[in-house]
Amino acid sequence: MKILFISDVYFPRVNGVSTSIETFRHHLRDQGHTVHLIAPDYGSAGDDEAEITRVPSRRIPFDPEDRLMSYRWVIGRTEQLRAERYDILHIQTPFVAHYLGVRLSRQLGIPCVETYHTFFEEYLHHYVPLIPRAVTRLLAKRFSRHQGNRLDGMVVPSHPMLQVLKAYGITTPTEVIPTGMEAGRFVPGDRPGFRRDHAIPPDRPVLLFVGRVAHEKNIEFLLKTVDEVRKTIAGVLLVIAGEGPALESLRHEARRLGLGAHTLFIGYLDRHRALNSCYRAADVFVFASRTETQGLVLLEAMAQGVPVVSTAELGTRDVLREGLGVHIAQEDAADFSAKVMRLLNDSALRETLGAAGRDYAQGWSASRLARRMQEFYQQVLAARGLREDRMAPLGAATRAQPH
């Protein structure tokens, strides 16, 4: 099968969408398919640029990490794309990529599917704060419904997100397919080395957050948690690995709470080298996002044997099982901090919970989930009545959930 991905984001821009694209791209390719990607040009090329078309792009003033791709530049290459004879087009993001993808699929005569990675209903109000929240939620619902019902198929990373889209009135055939775990995520990181490189004493209690530093990630709540924990465990340190539009406001909030000595902002890390060591260096991974469609970082922490304390909201409800690598907490500083302190004060419990999480994360196989994506593509192609001889054999893909 020949597949065309199109996205408004990809590495070196680090986020869950980039990770998902990379994971499915590699595993579909390993299973014998050809996967091309259209993505923004950030001015620097990565290590694996084979079969990637980088599109001239502009910076977005209110979010300098992201780029706005040139619509006209891509449309001007329609005939080159037609010559590739793609079987299906897969949109990964709802901005320029969505409108390009829908138009190209019509011009190329191929079906178009899209993964719903972002829960706009809870996301949008952080970026247009002057508009009432009820209005932004209504706009997000209408926006999602309008886009979703123009597609041949949709993919969501979790069952709660499937229910959200149904409630919006989206009637497009939709499949739940999370992003899987790469085998490399289970390679043990270098805990002593990471702590040494970042001047963290070997015995200092460390909490860790990994992800985009944005308001929708609810990192402010994690700062409040640290403020509670330090009253009992004076040396506690919260490491925040990531960058984003909320970075400066979070630094300011940490200073306001008197947490300067209890927080360490370390920016983005190389996913293929430093990130495993960062996870491994933590005693507890903490997470409280309200807007995740999946929450892959939770599984990444578990893969390193690190116990997790997290709220269970939206997509993370599909990932988290109490006792399987995680203590699920309420979005309440007292409850959350109590669960964190219980782990920090009990090394045997940390080890037991971490081992259970590592075993649990093994069930989220990237190759198995890529086969499920292949299955879904085949269903969409069959619904369009396209020739079966253009599709790879289905094989023995399982449809069981990864947990």
Same domain, 252 and 372: no
Asked if residue 118 has pLDDT above 90, the reply is no
Between 126 and 182, whose confidence is greater?
A: 182
The answer on 217 and 333 residing in a single domain is yes
In this structure, are 200 and 335 located in the same domain? yes
Long-range contacts from 68-71, C-beta under 8 angstroms, 24+ separation = 68/8, 68/40, 68/95, 68/96, 69/8, 69/38, 69/39, 69/40, 69/96, 69/97, 69/100, 71/96, 71/99, 71/100
Q: Does pLDDT of 396 surpass 50?
A: no
Q: Is residue 373's pLDDT more than 90?
A: yes
Tokens of 88: 């299906």
The reply to whether 399 falls in a domain is no
- C-alpha span between 69 and 223 (Å, rounded): 35
- Beta-bridge mates of residue 337: none
Q: What is the structure's pLDDT at 401? A: 43
User: Percent of the chain at pLDDT above 90?
Assistant: 82
Same domain for 174 and 214: no
Which candidate, 305, 282, 328, 315, places its Cα nearest to that of 403?
315
Cα–Cα distance, 163 to 141 (Å, whole number) = 13
Whether residue 67 is found in the same domain as residue 210: no
Domain presence at residue 111: yes
Residue 125 located in a structural domain: yes
Sorted by sequence, the CB contacts under 8 Å of residue 107 that are 6+ apart come out as: 78, 82
- pLDDT(137) > 90: no
Does residue 397 lie within any of the structural domains?
Answer: no
Whether residue 91 is contained in a domain is answered as: yes
CA torsion sign for 127, 41, 93, 21 is: negative
Lowest mean pLDDT among 113-127, 264-278, 326-340: 113-127
Q: Is the pLDDT of residue 387 over 90?
A: no
This prediction's pTM = 0.87
pLDDT tens digits, one per residue of 15-40: 899 999 999 999 999 999 999 999 99
- 379 with 345, same domain: the answer is no
Burial 280-305 (b: 16+ CB within 10 A, else e): bbbbbbbbbbbbbbbbbbbbbbbbbb
Q: How many domains does the chain have?
A: 2
217-231, 347-361, 372-386: range with lowest mean pLDDT? 372-386
- The boundaries of the domain holding residue 344 are 187-361
382 within some domain: yes
pLDDT for res 386: 57
pLDDT digits (tens, 9 = 90+) for 198-220: 999 999 999 999 999 999 999 99
Q: In what side-by-side order are the strands of the sheet with 326-328?
A: 263-265, 237-241, 206-210, 284-287, 308-310, 326-328
Residues 210 and 347 placed together within one structural domain of the fold: yes
* Shared-domain flag, residues 57 and 141: yes
Checking if the pLDDT of 160 tops 60, the result is yes
Specify the pLDDT at position 105: 98
**Same domain, residue pair 12 and 159:** yes
Per mean pLDDT, which range of 131-135, 145-149, 293-297, 331-335 is the poorest? 131-135
CATH number at residue 45: 3.40.50.2000
Claim to verify: residue 176 and residue 304 sit in the same structural domain: no
172 domain residue, yes or no: yes
Three-state secondary structure call for residue 134: helix
The verdict on 347 and 382 lying in the same domain is: no
Helices and strands (H and E) in the chain: how many = 16, 15
Q: Higher confidence at residue 126 or residue 124?
A: 124
pLDDT bin (cut points 50, 70, 90) of residue 47 is low
Q: What is the pLDDT of residue 127?
A: 67
Residue 400 lies in a domain: no
Average pLDDT, the chain: 92
346 and 382, same structural domain? no
